[in-house]
Amino acid sequence: MNNCISWVGSAQTFIDEPSVVQYKHINLGRLGGNSNTVKNKNEDGCLIWWSLEQNWEFIMLLDAHSSDDSAKLITHYIMEARFDFLRILELPVQQSFQLIKEKLLHIFNSNTFLTDCKNIKGESSCLIVLRKEKYIWWFSVGDCLLYYFHPDLIRLGQFQLNQRQFFEWIGQMNTFNQEVPCYSTGVRELRKGENHIFLCTDGLIECPHAPFAHPERIFNLFSESAQQDTEIILSMLETLQSKEVKDSTTIISWKVLNSKNVSMPSDELN
């Protein structure tokens, strides 16, 4: 499959090596932490699919612990079903979101997946984001972060779509083994103009001295700088390294221009 990026931390750790790569309009930043903090492995992972022709991105971000076995396993199952996902993504947007959710739940609730999860070491937070046309949908287990920056929302103090949830994972300890699985999903309409979607693992906000703990700081970096987005992300990762962050950090960032009309209060329509 073209337009597909798949990575787990054991394949390339990026320890002491801040890295940013641009795939078309999508930026992927990675830092495996610092070796002088006794960090010797990276347990993050990601999957990036996109279609410029069909106007969508499908992104998965993973933050595992104990090992990256769970990141590998989740990625394997999603990749095995990629043609099913691609067929769903060809459908009208209102069908795509519902069927994507049904497909994910079918995978995560399947007996084969649950059995495989019991036989691995560790577990992972998992954030899946689908942007299609002027809408964004997400599925979140655990504590990866999904920020969404647009001036209309920034003025009202809104920066984030999902909420970090602790004690939720997929893997050896698995929310889908519970009587009622715990996860979050949501759908939002993108605002008119430029929309900035920004995903990250928690290494970004748990850095010593918390340079990026508040999302407004991240928004300001992009809105006030004349640098390219790749340069800004690299600078962020270099800041983490200089402050001797222990945890791995993975960032996925891209911008979408929406020219369609959007929802507004009725008293502002005229």
pLDDT per residue rounded down to tens, the chain (270 residues):
568 999 999 999 999 999 999 999 999 999 998 888 767 899 999 999 999 999 999 999 999 999 999 999 999 999 999 999 999 999 999 999 999 999 999 999 999 999 999 999 999 999 999 999 999 999 999 999 999 999 999 999 999 999 999 999 999 999 999 999 999 999 999 999 999 999 999 999 998 888 999 999 999 999 998 899 999 999 999 999 999 888 999 999 999 999 999 998 887 765
pTM: 0.96
Only one residue has tokens 């001036």, namely 151
Q: Are 240 and 200 in contact (CB under 8 A)?
A: no
Helix axes 111-118, 69-80, angle to 10 degrees: 160
- How far is CA 23 from each of CA 51, 90, 180, 230, 253, rounded to the nearest angstrom? 12, 21, 38, 11, 11
- Closest to 123 (Cα-Cα) out of 198, 202, 70, 52: 70
CA angle 201, 27, 169 (to 5 degrees): 25
Q: Would you give the DSSP letter of residue 190?
A: P
Rounded-to-integer distance, Cα 11 and Cα 23, Å: 19
Q: Are 78 and 85 in contact (CB under 8 A)?
A: yes
